Structure 1
Amino acid sequence: MFTLGSLLEDASLGLRLLVPGPPGALDEPLVWVHNTELPDPFPYVREHELVLTNGLWAGQATPAEFVANVRRARAGGIVFGLRAEVRRTPDELVKACEEAGLPLLEISVEVPFTAISHAVAALYTDQRQQTLVGMVRRGDALATAISRGAGASGVLRVLTRDHDLPLVVVDRTGRLLAAAGAELDDEQLLIVAAGLARRPPALELRLRAGLAALYPVGAVGDVDAALVCLRPLSALTSVEREALEQAAKFLSLEVAKQQAVQAIELRFASELLEMVLSGGRRAGEVAERLRAFGVDPTGPLAVCAMAFADEDGPTLHGLAEVVGDFFANEGVPSVVAGGTQDVVAVLTWRQPEGELSRLAERLVQSVDGRFPGRRPVAGLGAIAPHAAELRQPLMQAREACRVLRRSRGGPPVRSFVELGTHRLLLGLVDPGTLRGFSRDLLAPVREHDARRGGDLEQTLRTFLDQDGHWAATAAALHIHVNTLRNRLTKIAELTGRDVSRTEDRVDLFLALSIDAMS
């Protein structure tokens, strides 16, 4: 881009300003020059071009008509070139430009129009060189910030040195990663997260302060975050847009690094849960792993399992990170592991047990705000006195969470002791004995399903979940009541337990409950 003001400053052109146009016209960016002698150049002149003319159209159009046509093309101004036959710019042309509010400049006979073209080309070259130098310099600064661990905040600091822009970096779960000169509340963060979830992602969103431009940040092929400028795209200059695009690429490196670290931490945390469930033979490893996460294995420990109700699929991506952020903000040392069905947190806990429920309720509220439209639930186990006693509380917390997931209402947080009496009784029996009972009772049903491709086990689970109501079970399974009756009869033949008898139904119910707890 160049301006009339920059051309007037070039003494070698010898330009004389005849009509300045409206205020600010001399500083308006122009795209190029256009030499024409057509009486109506409107079809060929681009918007914001500078028209160069010697006035050879004078016999075919009046100055007022020519100026009107140039104005209609939204040109940036006119340069009238004097020639041997015309030693002075026509007064009619000057008057027409004044009335139209169109800048008019005059160039002498001795200076050809090509001199203006060369001057504009030189300005473009200089600007492009400055832009490239700026990009290289900014790239070096961004690379230095990333390599020194300055993170997303360091990237924004580099950007705001050269550009006064309100900026934030938000990931796809609505977490604020960094900010510079701007603030977004939880509602606005969720709007950004929703925009990133679109396919393709939104490039502009309406926030409370108006339109905001989004520059997607991708780590491994997907959009994981966005560099958000709280200004509309139309208000950004080309230089600002280039700087934002460049910064978004460097932020991709930072997001990829964070994801790699989180993936390692989550894998280590998941291995910790496997160590706990495996029993005493790996108790020493459990203690060391807890210490690595800043959790004291010698003191009291609590376990919280979280998931979304009425959803049997994998846990939502990003839930583990949100849970980890919550406990970090609460100042509670924790290990957070994302499973296929739930997210489990092991916490240092030296407060009264009742406070744990209140903390879990705040966790549910926090997750609910980050994932609107879902129903988060949290199950709690008993307090373990030390790491070697974590297995039972872990199983209890997961069982409580599983029950809440399948519930149609009620409180979103429950401890294991608040569940049904049968679960408390099961907790008093040797786990190996319980697993043997469950395995032996359900084995014939599972073998039949595997051999015939049947749905007997699912039918039994649904029947018990529906409290033995035949019509409700048939509707849930999308089958006829007679088909349900035939399936339950087959289960009775295979297991020796008839669902119409209370004691037999209890056996089947306990077998399925033990299986879910294992």
Structure 2
Amino acid sequence: MSRLTVGDLIAMDQLGCAAVAGMGGLDRRIVWAHTSELDPWDWLGADELLMTAGLCVPSDERAQCTFVERLHEKGLAGVIIGDDVTAPPLTAAMLANADRLNFPILRCSHTTPFAAIGRTVALASQSVQVSRVARLSRLYEHARSTSLAETSLLVRLSRELQYTLHVVDVEHGTDVLPTDNPLSDATIRSLTSRVAGTLDRLPAHLTLGEGADYVMTAHALPTHRKCMLVMEGSPATDVDAFALLHVRSLIGVEVEKVTREREYADEVGEGLLRRILAGSDAPEAVTPLLEEFDLSAPEWTVLSFDIDFLPAARTIAGDRGVPNVTAILDERAYMLLPTGRCSETIDVLSGKTRAMGVSPSATAIGQISDSARQASWALDTARSTGVPVARYSTDAPLFVPRTRTDARHATDAILGDLLLYDRGHESHLVETLETFLTHNRSWTVTADRLGIHRQSLAFRLRKIESVTGRNLKASSDIAMLWLALRARAHASALTD
């Protein structure tokens, strides 16, 4: 570790550096010196010396004070500002703030090239280069041997760096890679809240918590998913920008690999679930395939939700290690999972989607297709009532069927005469009824969707009332007709 301090630079007369503020911090250690005219806190790290011609130094007094504070908060060793016309005048308030923070501000002669200062720091740091390269070699060895080890890459890197590492998907609020000590839900919520408005361009660095013996920081990862690396440990433990750059790269590659593996598993799982729902494979043929997805549980539950939520549901369930297979059928998504993991999964997913239907438990593979229909009917209930989660009731009445056979009975009991009339007269009364109820009994919208005149619609609605014996102004009759239409739709769904 370099022992060069800010005071040592000043003592080298040939460099022409002089402190103008923050003399109480001249014992600050310098591990590297770098120029930057952009926002330096985004590009330099702890114990690094900023060298600037002054372009990044604001001219406003308040802004200059903030400039010093941000450099100090990032842990920089100090700043050298070139003594030429490029830099704005340094205000008394800025210098006083630097004195208060013991943050060194140096001016150097315009005849001293920054390269000379940089090389001086580099020479002083050469003694630590061998150990730094050795550490880098160990980092890549951890990555290479992870597939052969029982512990994850994140755990191995945590031990090497003496920091506890976590990877958080800040879009979905999940811990992406397994660790010995998962990050708390409260910390994940705090992080996702802080970056909620910057998902398209995550901040390079955030400080989440700081104390005398503890620091927690977050760093954006180079991944397709919106992920950040969270590091927690002692501020006395040195992880410089050089090591952090490679750690981020290694972990980013691991996240991409895990993501690709899950995407492939989701594709295979979708084919499996489709075959189960279609009943095209014998149960004894399906059982070993389910075991490959850790779905050999004696009881399964099916969830149903909107198809636009499926990618997020797969990501969240995968990050939480919930065994599942998913598929899209008939404009809705289904997830098969062990009943024992159902409650926690519903708790996590329900706050992120508008509506969800939940089936009763299935105890045999042959019952899963009925469970999917029940989850689908429950989803319709959730949508129509506005509740986030609807569970299919096992004591449902006739118009909330339990099986495809029940659905057909419900359809025949309520819509049978209307279906027969349509077949005999080619009258499209069932289509008219469904369009009318789907659009909240709007005459204008219904007539427009059917391409008929309002008078023709009036005739059809009177005929529907006559054939069914139900009143299209009575809430109870409307409810029965609507649920019968839903039962009819689902009776033909999920077929091969």
TM-score using structure 1 length: 0.58
388-397 or 172-181: which moved more?
172-181
Specify the alignment match of 2:219 in structure 1: 215
Is contact 1:152–1:169 with CA below 8 Å preserved after alignment? no
Aligned counterpart in structure 2 of residue 421 of structure 1, from 381, 394, 398:
398
Which is bigger in relative contact order (C-alpha 8 A, separation at least 6)? 2
Aligned counterpart in structure 1 of residue 464 of structure 2, from 474, 481, 498:
498
Deviation at 1:500, TM superposition (A): 6.2
Q: Secondary structure at the match of 2:240?
A: helix
Specify the alignment match of 1:98 in structure 2: none
Aligned counterpart in structure 1 of residue 140 of structure 2, from 135, 138, 143:
143
1:189-228 aligned at under 5 Å gives the runs 189-194=188-193, 195=195, 198-203=198-203, 213-219=217-223, 222-228=224-230
Deviation at 1:174, TM superposition (A): 1.2
Is contact 1:379–1:404 with CA below 8 Å preserved after alignment? no
| Counterpart check, 1:49 vs 2:84 | no
CA pair 501-243 structure 1, distance change in 2 beyond 3 A: farther
Q: Secondary structure at the match of 1:223?
A: coil
Deviation at 1:284, TM superposition (A): 4.2
Is contact 1:303–1:381 with CA below 8 Å preserved after alignment? yes
| Counterpart check, 1:403 vs 2:381 | yes
> CA separation in 2, counterparts of 1:273 and 1:486?
47
1:26-425 aligned at under 5 Å gives the runs 26-27=27-28, 29=30, 48-49=79-80, 120-126=117-123, 136-147=133-144, 148-149=146-147, 154-155=153-154, 157-158=156-157, 161-162=160-161, 167-171=165-169, 172-177=171-176, 184-194=183-193, 195=195, 198-203=198-203, 213-219=217-223, 222-229=224-231, 240-296=240-296, 300-307=298-305, 314-323=308-317, 328=322, 334-339=323-328, 341-347=332-338, 360-368=342-350, 371=352, 374-381=353-360, 383-384=362-363, 386-409=364-387, 412-424=389-401
Deviation at 1:153, TM superposition (A): 5.5
Specify the alignment match of 2:99 in structure 1: none
| 1:328-367 superposed Cα distances (whole Å, 9 cap, x missing partner) | 4xxxxx43325362341243x6xxxxxx7xx745543233
Amino acid in the other structure paired with 1:145:
H
| 1:445-492 superposed Cα distances (whole Å, 9 cap, x missing partner) | 9xx9xxxxxx999974464357xx63xx46998989x98955745867
> CA separation in 1, counterparts of 2:230 and 2:263?
25
Deviation at 1:254, TM superposition (A): 0.9
Q: Secondary structure at the match of 1:318?
A: helix
Deviation at 1:404, TM superposition (A): 2.3
CA pair 4-258 structure 1, distance change in 2 beyond 3 A: closer
Deviation at 1:279, TM superposition (A): 1.9
Q: Secondary structure at the match of 1:428?
A: helix
316-325 or 166-175: which moved more?
316-325
> CA separation in 2, counterparts of 1:433 and 1:516?
11
Is contact 1:131–1:239 with CA below 8 Å preserved after alignment? no
- Residues matched between the structures, number: 411
Is contact 2:433–2:464 with CA below 8 Å preserved after alignment? no
| 1:168-208 superposed Cα distances (whole Å, 9 cap, x missing partner) | 32123211235989975324313433526734333156757
Q: Which runs of 5+ in 2 are unaligned?
A: 31-48, 54-77, 84-88, 96-102, 471-476
| 1:394-432 superposed Cα distances (whole Å, 9 cap, x missing partner) | 3223332333233223x8342253444224376436979
> CA separation in 2, counterparts of 1:383 and 1:215?
44
CA pair 360-117 structure 1, distance change in 2 beyond 3 A: closer
Deviation at 1:380, TM superposition (A): 1.0
> CA separation in 2, counterparts of 1:487 and 1:174?
53
CA pair 143-406 structure 1, distance change in 2 beyond 3 A: farther
CA pair 305-141 structure 1, distance change in 2 beyond 3 A: same
Is contact 2:10–2:19 with CA below 8 Å preserved after alignment? no
Amino acid in the other structure paired with 1:24:
G
Deviation at 1:275, TM superposition (A): 1.0
Amino acid in the other structure paired with 1:186:
D
> CA separation in 1, counterparts of 2:382 and 2:264?
30
Q: Secondary structure at the match of 1:285?
A: helix
Root-mean-square deviation (Å): 5.9
> CA separation in 1, counterparts of 2:481 and 2:118?
88
Is contact 1:377–1:412 with CA below 8 Å preserved after alignment? yes
Deviation at 1:245, TM superposition (A): 3.3
149-158 or 389-398: which moved more?
149-158
CA pair 327-246 structure 1, distance change in 2 beyond 3 A: closer
Is contact 1:196–1:226 with CA below 8 Å preserved after alignment? no
Q: Which runs of 5+ in 1 are unaligned?
A: 35-46, 53-68, 76-100, 105-112, 329-333, 350-355, 449-454
- Work out the percentage of aligned pairs sharing the same amino acid: 18
Q: Rg bigger for which structure?
A: 1
